[in-house]
Structures are given as structure tokens and as C-alpha cells.
Amino acid sequence: MLKITSLTKYDGKYDEIIEDYSRLFEKEYDYNIKKMIKNVFRDIEESKKRGYALLDDDRLVGVMVYHLDENVGVIHFFHILEKFAKPFALKKILSHFINKKIKENLPKVVTLFDIFNFGEKQLNSLMLDFGFERKQRDLFELKVKDYEYVEFEEDKIEIKQFKFENMKQISKLAQFAFAGSLEQEVYPSGFNVKDYEEEMNNSINGLYGKFLPIYSKEVYLEDELIGAIITTQDQSTLVLHQFFIVPKNWGNQYGYRMLNELFKFVDQKGRYEKIATFVSHDNNRVKKLLKKMGFKLKLKMNIYSRLLL
């Protein structure tokens, strides 16, 4: 008989779930996601991440890992072993999560990983039962050694080191100018300023991997803050977790110059082999920029979002 309990800190007992999901993900996308998934589990009890375990008697057969902010709930990982991947099992664990969060008046929920062991039509039907909309994110990667740095004769912008005391100002700008790889593009209604501040705090607190302040930058034009880059780490890969230029400065190659300077810095440091970022499938502006800079599309991943308004 299936029952639900809270997850405890990662100690290896979730390895069957992680191995099964990683195998299916690699089979579908030809991409090894195991280290990323283990990072998700290692954050449990060390950050805002929490989770549920789906048990059949005493056997762990399903897992959900999530975190909550004031307005947003993000499901970072969801998987049920094939033998137990039945509609009632998915409904049981999602109902437990969704119903509790409705009571907490949480307006937005998104799941950031594809869900396996269900047929496509069956899964879409099940997700619609809970009001989720299917979307897609694209992962782009760049090998640092392959990037050719461009020297500009006249560079109007100034790249400065990220400062924690500028968090609120950066968050406010990000609400109006977001052009990177976070959940804002997933939600039909977008984030508000407070949501962005929470997301940046989450990056720094380790919800999305190790935060890299040295590789995180602020962008200025004539002493005015117009953009920023927030980076995290996934093993030998530098992840562009957030990056943006405010709309009034679009069309001046500032986004290109911003990333160009960062990539030169990364190459000089010699610490990271690759640079990666997730982008909404519909974000053609950013995808065009990334392709221009030599990024290659690695995979297209299904995600689901839900508004509780």
C-alpha cells in the first residue's frame, strides 16, 4: 500500500530513484544529468528544499523535491519507478503537495524536470487534471576553449564585481528586463520584484548549485546599473543562472559585450571547461544571442507550470 512521508537528508538511500531517472533522461536526451540530480538531493535540510517520499510498504518508489518561497513553489525533481508509475500514484503525491500549498495560498507552482515512466498522452492528461501547462526549456552549452574573445574599440559599458548590497536594486531591474534562464519565462504571469529577490537569494543560498560571486557581474553605463550576471557551478561547468540588460538599452550589443567580457574572464581563470544556461524555448532573442556567441543546443526539456490564482 502506497504512503507518503517527508524526505530526510541525502544519505544514498535515494540512489535507485536517481539512477533510474538519470538513465531515462540520458536515453531520451543523450545527456548525463546524474550530478545535477544529486546536487538537488544534497540541498535537502541545508536550504529551503524539502521533499516527499512515496513508499510501497518500506520500499522507496517515488520522490518529489521542492522548495517554497513566499509566492512561488518550485518542484525540482519528480520521479516514480516504472512498476509503480500509475495514475493514482502520481495523483497521490501531487495532491498531497498541491492541496497543502493551496491552503498556504501559494499562487505559483512549476516543475523544472521532465517526468518519465508515463505515456505522453497519459502524463499530459494527468498534469491537466492539476492545472499544469506544458512548456519547454532549452539547454545551451559553450566550450570555453572554443570561444573567440572580441575586442571592441570603444566600450561604453563597465563590468564590475557583483556586490551583495546591490541585491534589491538588481532584483528590481530584473523584473522588467529578465532575459536569462529562470522560471519567469515559465510562468504565464511572470514574477514580481519580491519574487526576483527571493530567486537571487536562493541562488546565493545554494538551491541551484554553488553560487560563484567572483564570476557574477554587474553592468554599468555611465555609472547607471543596466544589467547583471548571476552564476552558479555544476562540477566543471559555469552556469549562467540569471543574466539581463534593461530593455531601454537593448539593441546596442551590450548583452553581447557583457557575456563577452565574462567569457574572457572565465578563460583567463582556467577553472571551468564549459558554460551553460537554460532558456525558455520561446525566448528567441536570447537564443539568437547565444548561438551568435557559439553556444550549441544540447537538449530540449519538457517542464510544467501552474498558477493557483
Full pLDDT tens readout for the chain, 309 residues? 789 988 876 667 888 999 999 999 999 988 888 887 887 777 665 566 788 889 998 889 999 988 776 667 788 889 999 999 999 999 988 888 877 766 666 667 777 788 999 998 999 899 888 888 888 889 999 999 999 999 887 778 899 999 989 988 888 887 766 544 344 444 434 456 676 777 777 777 766 678 899 999 999 999 999 999 999 887 789 999 888 888 888 889 999 999 999 999 999 999 999 999 988 887 888 899 999 999 999 988 888 877 654
> 235 with 122, same domain?
no
User: Does residue 306 form part of some domain?
Assistant: no
> 147 with 65, same domain?
no
> 126 with 160, same domain?
no
Dist. CA 63–CA 116, nearest whole Å: 12
Q: How far apart are the first and last CA of the chain?
A: 34
pLDDT for 269 equals 94
Residue that finishes a domain, picked among 81, 113, 131 = 131
User: Does residue 199 form part of some domain?
Assistant: yes
User: Does residue 305 form part of some domain?
Assistant: no
Tell me which residue range forms the domain holding 181.
Answer: 141-299
pLDDT for 11 equals 67
pLDDT for 34 equals 86
> 152 with 261, same domain?
yes
pLDDT for 177 equals 63
Give residue 191's identity as a one-letter amino acid code: F
pLDDT for 73 equals 77
Give residue 169's identity as a one-letter amino acid code: Q
Residue that finishes a domain, picked among 82, 103, 131 = 131
User: Does residue 304 form part of some domain?
Assistant: no
pLDDT for 132 equals 84
Nearest residue to 62 (alpha-carbon basis) of 71, 52, 72: 52
Q: Please tell me the total count of domains within the chain.
A: 2
Residue that finishes a domain, picked among 98, 131, 164 = 131
- CATH code of the domain covering residue 287: 3.40.630.30
> 122 with 182, same domain?
no
Nearest residue to 17 (alpha-carbon basis) of 42, 54, 57: 54
> 104 with 145, same domain?
no
Give residue 167's identity as a one-letter amino acid code: M
Dist. CA 20–CA 39, nearest whole Å: 16
Tell how far CA 74 is from the center of its chain. Answer: 9
> 74 with 207, same domain?
no
> 288 with 220, same domain?
yes
User: Does residue 307 form part of some domain?
Assistant: no
pLDDT for 185 equals 43
pLDDT for 184 equals 44
> 153 with 122, same domain?
no
User: Does residue 136 form part of some domain?
Assistant: no
> 117 with 164, same domain?
no
User: Does residue 36 form part of some domain?
Assistant: yes
Q: What is the pLDDT of residues 251-294, one digit of tens each?
A: 899 999 999 999 999 999 999 999 999 888 878 888 999 999 99
Cell 538599452 found at: 249
Dist. CA 207–CA 112, nearest whole Å: 13
pLDDT for 102 equals 63
What b/e sequence results for 195-216 when a residue is b if at least 16 CB atoms lie within 10 Å of its CB, and e otherwise? bbbbbbbbbbebbbbebbeebb
pLDDT for 187 equals 40
pLDDT for 207 equals 63
Number of H helices, E strands in the chain: 8, 13
51, 111 contact by CB (below 8 A) = no
User: CA–CA distance from 137 to each of 30, 44, 62, 278 (Å)?
Assistant: 16, 24, 24, 6
User: Does residue 283 form part of some domain?
Assistant: yes
What would the grid cell of residue 113 be?
524536470
> 203 with 230, same domain?
yes
42, 210 contact by CB (below 8 A) = no
> 194 with 260, same domain?
yes
